[in-house]
Amino acid sequence: MWMIELPPFIPFFIGAIILLLTRGILRSAVMLAIPIVSAMHLWMIPEGIHLQFIFLDYQLTPYRVDKLSIMFGYVFHIAALIGIIYSLHLRDTMQQVSAMLYAGSALGAVFAGDLLTLFIFWELLAFTSVFLIWARRTQRSYDAGMRYLIIQVLSGVILLVGTLFYVSENNTLEFGYIGLDSVAGWLILIAFGIKCAFPIAHNWLTDAYPEATVTGTVFLSAFTTKVAVYALARAYPGAEILVYIGAAMTCFPIFFAVIENDLRRVLAYSLINQVGFMVVGIGIGTALAINGAVSHAFNDVIFKGLLFMSMGAVLHMTGRINGSDLGGLYKTMPKTTILCIVGAASISAFPLFSGFVSKSMVMSAALEEGFDWIWLMLLFASAGVFHHAGIKIPYFAFFAHDSGIRASDPPNNMLLAMAIAAALCIAIGIYPQALYSLLPYNTGYNPYDATHVLAQTQLLFFSALAFVWLNIKGLYPPELRSTNLDFDWIYRRAVPSALQQMFSVIWQADRALRESIKLRLKIYLSYFAGKNDRLSVLLSRNYPSGSMAMWVAVVLATYLLLSFIQ
Amino acid sequence: MIAHLPILQVIIPLMAAPICLMLKRTQLVWLFSLLTSGLAFAVSVLLLQQVMTSGLISYELGGWQAPWGIEYRIDKLNAFLLLIISGISTIVLFAAQTSIEKEIPKDKHIYFYVLYLLSLTGMLGIVATGDAFNVFVFLEISSLSAYALIAMGKNKQALWASYQYLIMGTIGATFILIGIGLMYQMTGTLNMYDLSQRLPEVAQSRTVFAAFAFVIVGVCLKLALFPLHLWLPNAYAYAPSIVTAFFAATATKVAIYLLIRFTFSVFGLSFSFTTIPLQTLFMALGLIGIFVASFAAIFQSNIKHLFAYSSIAQIGYMIVGFSISSVTGLTATLLHLFNHALMKSAIFLALAAVVFRVGNVQLNSLRGLGRQMPLTMAAIVLGGLSLIGVPLTVGFVSKWYLLIALVEQGWWPVAGLILLGSMLAVAYVWRIVEVAYFKEPVGPPIKEAPMSFLVPIWALVIANIYFGIDTRISVQVAEAAAQSLFGVSL
């Protein structure tokens, strides 16, 4: 064959350099060509290890292809292509280059066969993506980006520490099943968990994603959390704790999403909810559950991207994104409305849409393994998703009261990107076998049996009914401009103000102490000054060299003392 | 010729220094110095090659037999150091002529080169010689020329900083001399190898303890170990930029070499680490040094001060590696010695280029410089990443070894602190990035630095990345040197 076995991140990184040197149409062509060429390349690559070398006595494997990694490889290429089409109208080198590097880093992480390579791309993901947030060039986005960066880098550092533990125990860097029976396992789980937006560690996501640029959020939603899901699926399949963490992740964001006004933040919460389904699947760990988790990740990248794109289109055309400011846009943005509804139907798992074929796998697996309560939580979460992402998003943006905004549909490239995503959502929903054939395990699962379809449809209709009823009765939480308190209040408000108070007490005590000492000194000095003028000169003058020499004497004395005492 | 390499290493720059005075024309002197330093570098490459293949080289000066005459003893450790010193010196000299034109008055240019070569001689001599008294002599040669070089800085604070360094340096050298004197009193020999054979017989005497304490404190002063570091920031900040680049990469390294040489080879591992609680002491001082100096670096407004404090912190890492007293720990220290020389020379050379164009290195003057001097600032950022220890740079390699060494001993808390220290490095490097890339430029437009700066700077930056990826050479040499030190002393 004509090709050399290049890890997929290399074309993206090279592409990023080319982008720096090109302008206009040429640059657009390069941007489009890279994911297509790279995807074709990946299509041809057989499974196995393709690149290995020794670094510091350890075997590094920067390129390893197997069923699990290639699945994510494909979807990341699709996401990159869609995102690039969506952002073709931009004239912003910083965003385009960093998006390209970001997509490349995600691919690098997914194909990493050892923990050190994984760590490198883990940190690169953080450093390349933060520019998509900063590219909005407001103080707010700068601050949010900084908080995002700090948390992401922290995750990387924890991963490095975990890796060190792992190496010292197992004497290998290979990235495979890790499990939770060692300190290393727990540390690495925490690192993955931060990137995966586990509860309490999730605020970087809802904080930063809505502050990114219109196009930046589309990229962000596709990669970071899915890399973490991949890593969890690789290292912790069947870890029961993940079932409970995942179930919590599916449920708690619903309450925040319902009261949130910024529609992109609503989507950010629903992203956590969807990732929760995947985490539950990984925690159950059976073939069916892992399949469900992986295929749901695949679908989520596409339909969550579609929803972020449609909300991005609204923000791009109207300059507003709060539910309270929008409404009635269906009249002038009909295409966006329809595409958004396709995304909403997919995320709500309507039969014949992509969400249905993957989410039901996780739920069936939960039932099969006897996690009845978890199954109920997931059911509640499904209803909740439909509620906030399936109904709330399109309803408040495109229908509800007429806000008087008369914005037209977005530029063609944006529409095209959304149309591709929508087509994929429907295609996978109608013909799931195409997706199933890529999955790591063969389970012969069929989502379209009577119980599933009926149960899901019932759920959806009652949920819709509840929304309509609440809305008519005026009981539904109104869209208000407000700041909703989440866990990040602890570290953004409570801890700083507590520290501030603590320090102000300390400073006061310190000041009082120094004042009193100074007073004493003054009294003594004036006493001595009266006695002896030369002494006061000695005391008030600065002798830095003398103080250094004193330190030398102190250290020498310590050494001598220590050696004589023993 | 090959047999005389050890002495050629030292004698070439020593003889070249006075010849500079006769050449008169500055350009010519510069070329001549460059040639000399390049020759010294070539010699050091040959020496390293010879040592790696055939082992220790012993050279008797003037044919006098070893314990009586002066012996030059080249093993893997000092061959490695010789390579670092002469290599950095050569690269730095490339940019010297352009840099000193703006920083040193014209009539002093020739003296600059003379002093530079003398200083180089001193450092090479300290490392090459196997005679304890000879160490003191070369220490004085390198120090005296260093004081004069630092005093050439264009601010009047330079004189004061140099004076302070003079006082402290003299105390340090005197301490070392006292230590050597006490050893001589007990054993009657000055040859290091001979000392290592005879000292164990008298190891339990107080005189030897005192000798050890004096030598260690003197060396620690020279290497700016916390709390004996106070002279360093000012000396580095006010010296001419080229001098800073040269000294930051080499001077403290030589002192660390002396520390290793005296503790491992002369006094011996068992004396140094079991009789005296050197391990705990150095571990504590190294860690405190990392944190105190890194914090201090975060709050500096003069970038040279900032990186000077960072140097003190980096010395802390080397001392921590040293205090582990295992082969891996010592390997980490030696690697960091090499790597830190690469990073700091790249950074300080880039700062020299900034001084050349902007006139100073106050943080405020760097506003928007990322766009005006893209290549220079990129070099500082890459050097900074290396300081932090980002993968694919040399900084990562040595930190990795340090962490592995700590993990081997089961000292997890210390490993955690080391990582925390790296986060502080992120903070001070980020301050520069923020000002240079996210602030609008002020004042008149500034041009990119001339090629005479960019070529050596980027040679060093590329070395930073190259040795971060291909670790075969540096790791192999450092490991071999560390193993041989343990082999000798055990």
Q: Is the pLDDT of residue B173 over 90?
A: yes
A204 touches chain B (CB under 8 A): no
Q: Is the pLDDT of residue A473 over 80?
A: no
Measured in angstroms, the CA of A172 and the nearest CA of chain B are apart by 13
The per-residue pLDDT for A536 is 37
Contact between chains at B214 and A556 (C-beta distance less than 8 A): yes
A560 touches chain B (CB under 8 A): yes
Mutation site for B-interface testing, chosen from A53, A115, A562 by largest number of B Cβ within 10 Å = A562
Measured in angstroms, the CA of A162 and the nearest CA of chain B are apart by 11
Q: What is the mean pLDDT of residues B183-201?
A: 88
Q: What is the mean pLDDT of residues B284-289?
A: 92
Cβ-contact A488, A207 below 8 angstroms? yes
Residue percentage of chain B with pLDDT more than 90: 40
Chain B positions in Cβ-Cβ contact with residue A547 (cut-off 8 Å): 230
Measured in angstroms, the CA of B476 and the nearest CA of chain A are apart by 10
Cβ-contact A211, A97 below 8 angstroms? no
Tokens 């890890």 belong to residue: A7
The per-residue pLDDT for A306 is 92
Higher pLDDT, A468 or B398: B398
Average pLDDT, whole number, for chain A?
84
Residue whose C-alpha is closest to residue A115's, from A47, A166, A69: A166
Q: Is the pLDDT of residue B490 over 60?
A: no
Q: Tally A–B CB contacts below 8 A.
A: 89
Q: Is the pLDDT of residue A328 over 80?
A: yes
B483 token code pair: 């193993």
A306 token code pair: 């579609």
Number of H helices, E strands in chain A: 23, 2
Residue percentage of chain A with pLDDT more than 90: 23
The per-residue pLDDT for A540 is 34
Q: Which of A153, A164, A549 sits opposite B407 (nearest CB)?
A: A164
Tokens 């700062």 belong to residue: B351
Q: Is the dihedral of CA A17, A22, A24, A30 positive or negative?
A: negative
Q: What is the mean pLDDT of residues A109-118?
A: 90
Q: Is the pLDDT of residue A2 over 60?
A: no
Cβ-contact B168, B218 below 8 angstroms? no
A559 touches chain B (CB under 8 A): yes
Q: Which of A153, A545, A560 sits opposite B164 (nearest CB)?
A: A545
Contact between chains at A563 and B392 (C-beta distance less than 8 A): no
Contact between chains at A566 and B175 (C-beta distance less than 8 A): no
Number of H helices, E strands in chain B: 20, 2
Produce one character per residue of A415-447: b if its CB has 16 or more CB atoms within 10 Å, e if not: bebbbbbbebbeebbeebeebbeebbbebebeb
Measured in angstroms, the CA of B279 and the nearest CA of chain A are apart by 12
Contact between chains at B390 and A123 (C-beta distance less than 8 A): yes
Contact between chains at A562 and B171 (C-beta distance less than 8 A): no
A547 touches chain B (CB under 8 A): yes
Amino acid, single-letter form, for residue A331: K
Q: What is the mean pLDDT of residues A256-267?
A: 86
B351 token code pair: 């700062």
Q: Is the pLDDT of residue A470 over 70?
A: yes
The per-residue pLDDT for A501 is 80
Q: Is the pLDDT of residue A78 over 80?
A: yes
Q: Is the pLDDT of residue B167 over 50?
A: yes
For A552, what's the count of Cα atoms within 13 Å in the CB-facing half-sphere? 30
pLDDT band at A529 (very low <50, low <70, confident <90, very high): low
Chain B positions in Cβ-Cβ contact with residue A120 (cut-off 8 Å): 391-392
In what helix (H) or strand (E) does residue B193 lie, and over which residues does it extend?
A: helix B192-198
A423 touches chain B (CB under 8 A): no
Contact between chains at B227 and A560 (C-beta distance less than 8 A): no
Q: What is the mean pLDDT of residues B353-367?
A: 88
The per-residue pLDDT for A531 is 54
Q: Which of B231, B277, B400 sits opposite A548 (nearest CB)?
A: B231
Across B47-160, where does the E strand assignment appear? Answer: 57-60, 71-74
List, for residues B401-428, the tens digit of each pLDDT value. Answer: 999 899 888 888 888 899 888 888 888 8
Average pLDDT, whole number, for chain B?
88
Q: Which of B168, B220, B400 sits opposite A56 (nearest CB)?
A: B400
The per-residue pLDDT for A26 is 87
Q: Please state the ipTM of this predicted complex.
A: 0.75
A556 touches chain B (CB under 8 A): yes
Contact between chains at B220 and A547 (C-beta distance less than 8 A): no
Contact between chains at A564 and B206 (C-beta distance less than 8 A): yes
List, for residues B301-333, the tens digit of each pLDDT value. Answer: 889 989 999 999 999 999 999 998 888 999 999
A369 token code pair: 């393994």
Residue percentage of chain A with pLDDT more than 70: 92
Cβ-contact B347, B423 below 8 angstroms? no
pLDDT band at A477 (very low <50, low <70, confident <90, very high): low
Query: In this predicted structure, which of A207-221, A472-486, B210-224 has the lowest mean pLDDT?
Result: A472-486
The per-residue pLDDT for A422 is 93
Q: What is the mean pLDDT of residues A129-133?
A: 90
Q: Read off the DSSP letter of residue B202.
A: G
Chain A residue whose CA is closest to B215: A556
Contact between chains at A563 and B400 (C-beta distance less than 8 A): no
**Taking a contact as any Cβ pair under 8 Å apart, which residues of chain A between 133 and 192 contact chain B?**
153, 157, 160-161, 164-165, 167-168
The per-residue pLDDT for A483 is 62
The per-residue pLDDT for B149 is 93
B378 token code pair: 């990129």
Q: Which residues of B touch A (CB under 8 A)?
A: 163-164, 167-168, 171-172, 175, 206, 209-210, 212-214, 216-217, 220-221, 227-228, 230-231, 275-277, 281, 390-392, 397, 400-401, 403-404, 407-408, 415-416, 419, 423, 426, 469, 471, 475
A525 touches chain B (CB under 8 A): no
User: Would you call B60 helix, strand, or coil by DSSP?
Assistant: strand
DSSP string, A392-416: IHHHHHHSSS----------HHHHH
Mutation site for B-interface testing, chosen from A9, A123, A556, A564 by largest number of B Cβ within 10 Å = A556
Q: Which of A55, A123, A552 sits opposite B171 (nearest CB)?
A: A552
Chain A positions in Cβ-Cβ contact with residue B162 (cut-off 8 Å): none
Residues 6+ apart with CB under 8 A from B209: A560, A563, A564, B275, B276
Mutation site for A-interface testing, chosen from B209, B271, B422, B438 by largest number of A Cβ within 10 Å = B209
List, for residues B9-36, the tens digit of each pLDDT value. Answer: 899 999 999 998 888 888 889 999 999 9
What is the C-alpha to C-alpha distance for residues B44 and B427, in angstroms, rounded to an integer? 37
Measured in angstroms, the CA of A553 and the nearest CA of chain B are apart by 9
List, for residues A50-63, the tens digit of each pLDDT value. Answer: 777 777 777 888 88
Chain B positions in Cβ-Cβ contact with residue A123 (cut-off 8 Å): 390-391
User: Would you call A61 helix, strand, or coil by DSSP?
Assistant: strand
Measured in angstroms, the CA of A102 and the nearest CA of chain B are apart by 17
pLDDT band at B380 (very low <50, low <70, confident <90, very high): very high
How far, in Å, are A496, A514, A521 from residue A506 at the CA level?
A: 15, 12, 22
How far, in Å, are A201, A339, A344, A372, A426 from residue A420 at the CA level?
A: 33, 10, 15, 37, 10
Measured in angstroms, the CA of B267 and the nearest CA of chain A are apart by 14
Chain B positions in Cβ-Cβ contact with residue A172 (cut-off 8 Å): none
Other beta carbons within 10 Å of B261:
24
Cβ-contact A209, A220 below 8 angstroms? yes
The per-residue pLDDT for A544 is 67
Contact between chains at B404 and A167 (C-beta distance less than 8 A): yes
pLDDT band at A541 (very low <50, low <70, confident <90, very high): very low
User: Would you call B242 helix, strand, or coil by DSSP?
Assistant: helix
Contact between chains at B167 and A547 (C-beta distance less than 8 A): no
Query: In this predicted structure, which of A101-105, A554-558, B315-319 has the lowest mean pLDDT?
Result: A554-558
Q: Is the pLDDT of residue A43 over 70?
A: yes
Helix B76-103 vs helix B472-489: crossing angle, to nearest 10: 130
The per-residue pLDDT for A262 is 87
pLDDT band at A530 (very low <50, low <70, confident <90, very high): low
Q: What is the mean pLDDT of residues B41-49?
A: 92
Domains in chain B: boundaries: 277-490
The per-residue pLDDT for A4 is 61
List, for residues A145-203, the tens digit of each pLDDT value. Answer: 888 988 898 899 889 888 888 888 888 888 888 888 888 889 999 999 999 989 888 88
Higher pLDDT, A506 or B183: B183
Chain A positions in Cβ-Cβ contact with residue B281 (cut-off 8 Å): 558-559, 562
The per-residue pLDDT for A45 is 80
What is the C-alpha to C-alpha distance for residues A422 and B445, in angstroms, rounded to an integer? 50
